[in-house]
Amino acid sequence: MGHQHDIVSAQVLKRARTAAGLSVRELARRAGTSHPTVLAYENGRKAPSVAVFLRLLEACGFAVELELEKRIREADGLERGEELRQVLELAEQFPSKMSRHLDTPRFGVSGQSA
Protein backbone atom coordinates (compact mmCIF):
# COMPACT_ATOMS: atom_id res chain seq x y z
CA MET A 1 0.00 0.00 0.00
CA GLY A 2 1.03 3.56 -0.57
CA HIS A 3 0.74 6.81 1.28
CA GLN A 4 -1.44 7.16 4.40
CA HIS A 5 -4.09 9.09 2.40
CA ASP A 6 -4.29 6.19 -0.08
CA ILE A 7 -5.01 3.80 2.80
CA VAL A 8 -7.72 6.08 4.18
CA SER A 9 -9.36 6.54 0.78
CA ALA A 10 -9.29 2.75 0.23
CA GLN A 11 -10.98 2.15 3.60
CA VAL A 12 -13.60 4.86 3.04
CA LEU A 13 -14.40 3.60 -0.44
CA LYS A 14 -14.82 0.00 0.70
CA ARG A 15 -16.94 1.08 3.68
CA ALA A 16 -19.18 3.20 1.41
CA ARG A 17 -19.61 0.37 -1.09
CA THR A 18 -20.49 -2.23 1.53
CA ALA A 19 -22.83 0.19 3.35
CA ALA A 20 -24.61 0.78 0.03
CA GLY A 21 -24.93 -2.99 -0.47
CA LEU A 22 -23.13 -2.84 -3.81
CA SER A 23 -20.83 -5.41 -5.37
CA VAL A 24 -17.54 -4.22 -6.83
CA ARG A 25 -18.94 -4.84 -10.33
CA GLU A 26 -22.11 -2.82 -9.61
CA LEU A 27 -20.16 0.11 -8.20
CA ALA A 28 -17.84 0.05 -11.21
CA ARG A 29 -20.85 0.03 -13.57
CA ARG A 30 -22.52 2.94 -11.76
CA ALA A 31 -19.31 4.98 -11.66
CA GLY A 32 -18.33 4.25 -15.26
CA THR A 33 -15.12 2.39 -14.52
CA SER A 34 -13.92 -1.22 -14.43
CA HIS A 35 -14.22 -3.57 -11.49
CA PRO A 36 -10.44 -4.31 -11.44
CA THR A 37 -9.88 -0.55 -11.03
CA VAL A 38 -12.36 -0.37 -8.12
CA LEU A 39 -10.62 -3.38 -6.51
CA ALA A 40 -7.24 -1.68 -6.93
CA TYR A 41 -8.63 1.44 -5.21
CA GLU A 42 -10.14 -0.58 -2.35
CA ASN A 43 -6.92 -2.56 -1.85
CA GLY A 44 -4.80 0.59 -1.88
CA ARG A 45 -2.77 -0.58 -4.88
CA LYS A 46 -3.95 2.42 -6.84
CA ALA A 47 -5.11 5.86 -5.65
CA PRO A 48 -8.06 7.54 -7.35
CA SER A 49 -7.96 11.22 -8.17
CA VAL A 50 -10.15 13.40 -5.97
CA ALA A 51 -12.73 13.70 -8.78
CA VAL A 52 -12.88 9.91 -9.27
CA PHE A 53 -13.02 9.29 -5.51
CA LEU A 54 -15.98 11.66 -5.17
CA ARG A 55 -17.70 10.09 -8.19
CA LEU A 56 -17.31 6.61 -6.64
CA LEU A 57 -18.75 7.78 -3.32
CA GLU A 58 -21.66 9.45 -5.11
CA ALA A 59 -22.29 6.19 -7.01
CA CYS A 60 -22.62 4.57 -3.56
CA GLY A 61 -25.26 7.14 -2.66
CA PHE A 62 -23.11 9.31 -0.43
CA ALA A 63 -22.57 13.05 -0.58
CA VAL A 64 -19.24 14.44 0.57
CA GLU A 65 -18.81 17.73 2.40
CA LEU A 66 -15.29 19.00 2.86
CA GLU A 67 -14.33 21.18 5.79
CA LEU A 68 -10.96 22.77 6.32
CA GLU A 69 -9.32 22.73 9.74
CA LYS A 70 -6.12 24.55 10.57
CA ARG A 71 -3.56 22.20 12.01
CA ILE A 72 -0.97 23.44 14.46
CA ARG A 73 2.43 22.23 13.46
CA GLU A 74 5.94 23.16 14.52
CA ALA A 75 6.54 24.28 10.92
CA ASP A 76 4.01 27.06 11.48
CA GLY A 77 6.33 28.54 14.11
CA LEU A 78 4.27 27.14 16.98
CA GLU A 79 5.72 24.56 19.28
CA ARG A 80 3.41 21.67 19.93
CA GLY A 81 1.99 21.72 23.41
CA GLU A 82 2.84 25.37 24.08
CA GLU A 83 -0.81 26.33 24.46
CA LEU A 84 -1.41 23.42 26.84
CA ARG A 85 1.60 24.44 28.93
CA GLN A 86 0.23 27.99 29.22
CA VAL A 87 -3.22 26.73 30.22
CA LEU A 88 -1.76 24.46 32.91
CA GLU A 89 0.40 27.30 34.21
CA LEU A 90 -2.69 29.51 34.46
CA ALA A 91 -4.66 26.76 36.22
CA GLU A 92 -1.95 26.49 38.89
CA GLN A 93 -2.70 30.06 39.93
CA PHE A 94 -6.20 29.14 41.10
CA PRO A 95 -6.78 27.51 44.49
CA SER A 96 -7.29 23.78 44.39
CA LYS A 97 -9.94 23.90 47.13
CA MET A 98 -12.78 26.34 47.38
CA SER A 99 -13.31 28.15 50.65
CA ARG A 100 -16.70 27.78 52.34
CA HIS A 101 -16.54 31.45 53.35
CA LEU A 102 -16.69 34.11 50.68
CA ASP A 103 -15.10 37.41 51.70
CA THR A 104 -17.24 40.08 50.10
CA PRO A 105 -18.42 43.48 51.29
CA ARG A 106 -21.94 43.47 52.70
CA PHE A 107 -24.06 46.22 51.25
CA GLY A 108 -26.68 48.04 53.32
CA VAL A 109 -25.05 47.28 56.67
CA SER A 110 -24.61 50.32 58.87
CA GLY A 111 -21.10 51.30 59.75
CA GLN A 112 -19.70 50.68 56.24
CA SER A 113 -19.03 53.57 53.94
CA ALA A 114 -19.58 53.45 50.20
11's enclosing H/E stretch is helix 4-19
pTM of the model: 0.59
pLDDT attached to residue 68: 84
Report how far Cα 68 is from the mean position of its chain's Cα atoms. 10
| Confidence band, pLDDT 50/70/90 cuts, at residue 112 | low
CA angle centred on 44, ends 48 and 19, rounded to 5°: 80
pLDDT tens-digit profile of 23-38? Answer: 999 999 999 999 999 9
d(CA 44, CA 53): 12
pLDDT tens-digit profile of 50-102? Answer: 999 999 999 999 998 888 877 666 655 556 677 677 778 888 887 776 667 76
- In order, the DSSP letters of 38-101 are HHHHHTTSS---HHHHHHHHHHTT--------PPP-GGGT--TTHHHHHHHHHHTTS-SS--SS
CATH value of 4-59 in 1.10.3720.10, 2.70.150.10, 3.40.50.300, 1.10.260.40:
1.10.260.40
Q: Which residue has better confidence, 22 or 103?
A: 22
